[in-house]
Amino acid sequence: MPIVLLIFHSIKKHYLSVGEQLRLMNETEPVEIKGNVVIVPIAGVTRVVEQSVQYAKSLSDQVIAVHVSFDKKKKIRKLKRIGKN
């Protein structure tokens, strides 16, 4: 029985430690956003994406297109193809 209590105590200690590591250190004031921000997730540069971005611009002046790439070389080739340095 003492071993089980020791295990439970160790688990509780671990959870308290992890909780302390994850806790925010200081309370920050939320950033005030004026108007709407439209985020458009994109898989690549296509005519459909272009139309989606144009539609998003009709909804808000603040439009962000987001693309997540896991292959850096492929990403660079795509950016060069569309004229971005």
Cα 3 to its chain centre, rounded Å, is: 43
Q: What integer pLDDT is reported at residue 24 of this predicted model? A: 78
pLDDT at 84: 56
Q: Is 71 contained in some domain?
A: yes
In a domain, 2, yes or no: no
How many Å apart are CA 12 and CA 22, to the nearest integer? 15
26 lies in some domain: no
**What pTM, to 2 d.p., does this model score?**
0.49
Place of tokens 């660079």: 76
Is 46 a domain residue? yes
Instruction: Identify the domain containing residue 64 by its residue range.
Output: 34-85
1 domain-assigned? no
Q: pLDDT per residue over 42-51, tens digit each? A: 887 789 988 9
The total of structural domains in the chain comes to: 1
The answer to the question of residue 20 being in a domain is no
Q: Is residue 13 part of a domain?
A: no
How does pLDDT run along the chain (85 residues), one tens digit per residue?
889 999 999 999 999 999 988 887 777 788 787 888 999 998 877 899 889 999 999 999 899 988 887 887 877 777 677 665 4
